[in-house]
Structure 1
Amino acid sequence: MGKDKLRRFAEIETFANVYQLDQAKPLKGKWAEQHFKNSNPVVLELACGKGEYSVNLARMFPDKNFIGIDYKGNRIWRGAKTGLEEGISNVAFLRIQIDHILDYFAKGEIAEIWITFPDPQPQDKREKKRLTFPAFLNRYKEILADGGSVHLKTDNDGLYAYTCAKVDELGLVCKRKTDALYASEFVDEVLSIKTHYEKIYLKSDKNINYIEFAFA
């Protein structure tokens, strides 16, 4: 492991806006009250990487709380450090495997979920690792409040098509979808937030796919 990664791992141990593994379990059902010290809605960004969406959403919506989730601490270091440096008190980060999300959030605790440019896991044998595989969707359904949406932004056409198919197969409610986000009527200041990876894809003229869906 490189020196920068080691330094970042050491730093996030001291960050008040970062929780790691079992450290966060006592907050289940109590994130708004105990960490954010308010009663505002809690929104998750899954596979958050450097946390660009979490940080930017927190800037835009001070009346909501945001938690970026990723397993790679050297990535979430960037978003967490920005949050601390700018005094953005309504953003936090959680370093866990998303498979275990039910250990950290209670039924109906989450208002909304964003999945931003996750690993598409394109090989058939890795289908169960896709963040819109039915087993993951069942977990999201458990923690989402009634009417809460899941948003997926991806450059991967295969993952987008797979997700659209699962939404249809499972009888979920598709609210919006497009395979050309920036040419669609849906684009706004929220959907225009660009992650590190999205900027790379756009430079290559890659289309950006987007779907918003909810559980019936």
Structure 2
Amino acid sequence: MSRKKLVRFKENELNPNVVQAGKAIFEEIKGNWNEKQFKNPNPLVVELACGRGEFTVGLARVFPNQNFIGVDIKGSRIWKGSSTATAEGIENVAFLRTQIQQLDQFFSEEEISELWITFPDPFPRDGDEKRRLTSPKFLDMYKSLVKRDGIIHFKTDNTGLFDYSLELVQSREDIEILGFTHDFYQSEWKDDHFGIQTRYEKMFSEKGEKIKYLKFHFRN
């Protein structure tokens, strides 16, 4: 392991906006994010596969009366968002270092007010379908954790993953689609995200890739 990573991991251990194994709060956080982490009753907005946290931190800047949690397993990536939020004094941001498959171990039923799935690994092989963050297994987990009126947002550059996800969501009677587009920056929703982009979104857009977007919620 490089010295740079070791330094970053040590900072993650010390930074209170990182929730990870080895910290007491890691075992206590489920159902207690407002009380133990943020010390306020504001809504919880979660970004999955947050990477360096550009989107999580960006949203937190725009919405100071909401709490934002970026989830990723890569500690060196989380460090970037964590250190940015710390340097700017942004207190409505936290990062959870865990596998997304274990999300239900850290959130109680309907604890999440809004969910973002931003540019996840497409896992294009048929044998990897269960690993896609929009597969039936994950959708069922989100249904339990997200409030019934809570919106789930999905953004990707990958056409195959988007078409798979859209077809799956359209087939479920317990889901209501609120909108979708195959070209986000030419759509009616382009200004809803306040120009906040992840590193991957910028990279894909610069290459001429069209960004796909879907938003939906589970029916009551």
TM-score, normalization: structure 2? 0.95
Given that 1:25 and 1:103 are in contact with CA atoms closer than 8 Å, whether structure 2 keeps it comes out as no
CA contact (8 A) 1:180 1:207 kept: yes
Query: What residue in structure 1 maps to residue 120 of structure 2?
Result: 118
Which residue of 165, 168, 173 corresponds with 2:167? 165
- Letter of the 2:71 partner, please give it: I
Post-superposition offset of 1:33: 1.7
Give the one of 63, 78, 82 matched to 2:65.
Answer: 63
Shift of 1:3: 2.3
Matched position secondary structure for 1:126:
helix
Which residue of 2 is the match for residue 11 of structure 1?
11
Per the TM alignment, residue 191 of structure 1 is displaced from its structure 2 partner at its CA by 5.7
How far is 1:189 from its partner? 4.6
Aligned mates of 1:98, 1:191 — CA distance in 2: 26
Structure 2 match to 1:90: 92
Match of 2:183 in 1: 180
The corresponding residue for 2:200 is 197
What is the match of residue 79 of structure 1?
81
- The answer for the alignment partner of 1:54 in structure 2 is 56
Question: 1:48 offset after TM fit, Å?
Answer: 0.2
Q: Tell me the amino acid that sits aligned with residue 120 of structure 2.
A: P
How far apart, CA to CA, are the structure 1 residues paired with 2:194 and 2:218?
A: 21
Normalised to the residue count of structure 1, the TM-score between the two structures is: 0.97
Q: Which residue of 1 aligns with 2:130?
A: 128
* Percent identity of equivalent pairs: 48
Cα offset, 1:4, TM superposition:
1.8
Offset of residue 186 of structure 1: 1.1
Cα distance in 1 for partners of 2:186, 2:29 equals 41
The letter of the residue matching 1:188 is: D
Query: How big is the alpha-carbon RMSD for the aligned residues of Structure 1 and Structure 2?
Result: 1.1
Paired position in structure 2 for 1:34: 36
Post-superposition Cα deviations, 1:137-190, rounded to whole Å, max 9, x if no partner, equal 111111111211110110001111011011012221110100000011111152
In structure 2, what is the equivalent of residue 21 of structure 1? Answer: 21
Report the Cα distance in structure 1 between the residues aligned to 2:21 and 2:158, rounded to whole angstroms: 29
Find the residue that maps to 1:145 and give its secondary structure: coil
Identify unmatched segments of 5+ residues in structure 1.
none
Tell me how far apart the structure 2 counterparts of residues 75 and 165 of structure 1 sit (CA, whole Å): 32
Greater CA drift, 15-24 or 122-131: 15-24
| Count of aligned pairs between the two proteins | 216
CA distance in 2, matches of 1:132, 1:191: 24
Aligned match for 1:213, one of 203, 211, 216:
216
5+ residue gaps, structure 2: none
Tell whether the 8 Å contact from 1:12 to 1:77 is kept in structure 2 after alignment: yes
- Aligned AA (1:112): E
Deviations 1:11-62 (A, max 9, x none): 1111110011374231111101221011000010000000011101100001
